């Protein structure tokens, strides 16, 4: 995470040692941790959960969704206050309906999951997320306050349709002894994805803004140039998030409805009798 965040601090970009060395150390550490967990009898995190295809795909989808959610929660308030001139209260009120919608949708998505499974909820939810990220990429200084609020609410609606159904579907694929490990792995990777995604997209926004200011020559005031540069940076960051969510949408096409292992066992026993 330090490597990703350092890329936007003006130390030579992605090719500098301050970026590459921490990322390399992180990759090597991850490889060593994985090897260690696979070779001991009682691993801290049993990585055999990734042998299950639905769990593997679902985890990837949830990581991308967390990156999109945390990036919006981080980038939008910065843009609203620094570019559009809204107060912290006004920026918070824009974000508020999205949080309310997520709370309301939690029990509703549970019922929808029982009826339709995770696949269709994920396709619809990721479609909403991708569409709102695309719209965020083209926000301008003239975009109305209410429009931004609606986009953010739709973003959170889409995320709420994805997270719980996909996670439940992933855990249903695992045998009972792996339930605790599956839950811990998903929770850990969600937090890591949110942190890395935020650092990555903020770095991209910063780098894009810097390049815009270096290449643009206008007769306007410096403050106007900074605002235009921020808009350009926001566009780059949200377009990357959009591409990642499109990838998650494609992956969700291959999700199947998983059945809890206990239920599978009862079905087999009933058939045998």
List, for residues 178-223, the tens digit of each pLDDT value.
Answer: 888 899 999 888 888 888 888 888 888 888 887 877 776 655 566 6
Q: What is the separation of C-alpha 113 from the centre of its chain, rounded to a whole number of angstroms?
A: 21
Cα 176 from Cα 178, distance rounded (Å): 5
The pLDDT value given to residue 116: 87
pLDDT above 90 for 262: no
Average pLDDT of the residues in 167-188: 89
Whose structure tokens read 């991308």?
64
**14 confidence band (pLDDT: 50, 70, 90):** low
The pLDDT value given to residue 124: 94
Q: Which is more confident, 216 or 130?
A: 130
- Among residues 27, 51, 26, the alpha carbon closest in space to that of 38 is found at 51
The pLDDT value given to residue 29: 87
Share of the chain above pLDDT 90, in %: 29
pLDDT above 70 for 253: yes
DSSP letter at 173 equals: T
In the chain, the N- to C-terminal Cα span, in Å, equals: 55
Cα 161 from Cα 8, distance rounded (Å): 33
The pLDDT value given to residue 257: 81
Question: What count of residues does the chain have?
Answer: 273
pLDDT above 60 for 269: no
Instruction: Report CA Rg, the chain.
Output: 21
- Among residues 212, 217, 107, 120, the alpha carbon closest in space to that of 164 is found at 107
> Could you write out the DSSP letters of every residue in 36-86?
HHHHSSS-SS-GGGGGSHHHHHHHHHHHHHHHHHHHHHHHHHHHHHHTS--
pLDDT above 60 for 265: no
Number of C-beta neighbours around residue 41 at 10 A:
4
**260 confidence band (pLDDT: 50, 70, 90):** low
Q: C-alpha distances in angstroms, 7 versus 28, 57, 158, 194?
A: 19, 29, 30, 17
> Do residues 6 and 22 lie in contact, with contact meaning Cβ atoms separated by under 8 Å?
yes
Q: Average model confidence (pLDDT) for the chain?
A: 84
**7 confidence band (pLDDT: 50, 70, 90):** low
Q: C-alpha distances in angstroms, 63 versus 148, 170, 188?
A: 24, 13, 10
> Do residues 138 and 236 lie in contact, with contact meaning Cβ atoms separated by under 8 Å?
no
The pLDDT value given to residue 106: 85
Average pLDDT of the residues in 20-47: 84
The pLDDT value given to residue 18: 73
Q: Encode pLDDT of 98-115 as tens digits.
A: 989 988 998 899 899 988
* Structure tokens given for 268: 């087999």
> Do residues 247 and 130 lie in contact, with contact meaning Cβ atoms separated by under 8 Å?
no
Say which residues have a Cβ less than 8 Å from residue 265's Cβ, sequence separation at least 6.
Answer: none
Average pLDDT of the residues in 135-162: 91
In b/e form, how buried is each residue of 82-111, taking b as 16+ CB within 10 angstroms?
A: ebbebeeeebeebbebbeebbeebeeebee
Cα 168 from Cα 132, distance rounded (Å): 25
Whose structure tokens read 């998030």?
241
């Amino acid at each position: 995470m330090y490597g990703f965040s350092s890329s936007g601090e003006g130390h030579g970009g992605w090719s500098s040692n301050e970026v590459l060395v921490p990322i390399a150390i992180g990759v090597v550490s991850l490889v060593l941790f994985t090897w260690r967990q696979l070779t001991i009898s009682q691993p801290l995190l049993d990585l055999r959960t990734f042998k299950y295809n639905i769990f593997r795909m679902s985890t990837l989808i949830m990581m991308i969704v967390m990156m999109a959610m945390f990036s919006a929660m981080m980038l939008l308030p910065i843009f609203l206050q620094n570019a559009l001139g809204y107060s912290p209260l006004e920026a918070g009120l824009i974000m508020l309906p999205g949080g309310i919608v997520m709370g309301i949708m939690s029990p509703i998505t549970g019922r929808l999951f029982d009826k339709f499974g995770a696949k269709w909820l994920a396709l619809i939810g990721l479609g909403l997320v991708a569409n709102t990220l695309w719209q965020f990429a083209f926000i301008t200084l003239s975009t109305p306050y209410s429009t931004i609020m609606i986009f953010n609410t739709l973003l959170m609606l889409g995320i709420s349709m994805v997270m719980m159904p996909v996670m439940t579907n992933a855990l249903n694929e695992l045998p009972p002894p792996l339930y605790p490990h599956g839950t811990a792995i998903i929770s850990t990777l969600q937090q890591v994805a949110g942190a890395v995604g935020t650092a990555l997209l903020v770095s991209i926004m910063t780098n894009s803004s810097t390049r815009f200011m270096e290449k643009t020559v206008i007769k306007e005031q410096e403050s106007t140039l900074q605002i235009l540069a921020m808009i350009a940076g926001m566009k780059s960051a949200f377009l990357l998030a959009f591409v990642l969510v499109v990838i998650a949408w494609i992956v969700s096409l291959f999700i199947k409805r998983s059945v809890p292992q206990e239920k599978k066992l009862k079905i087999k026993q009933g058939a045998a009798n």
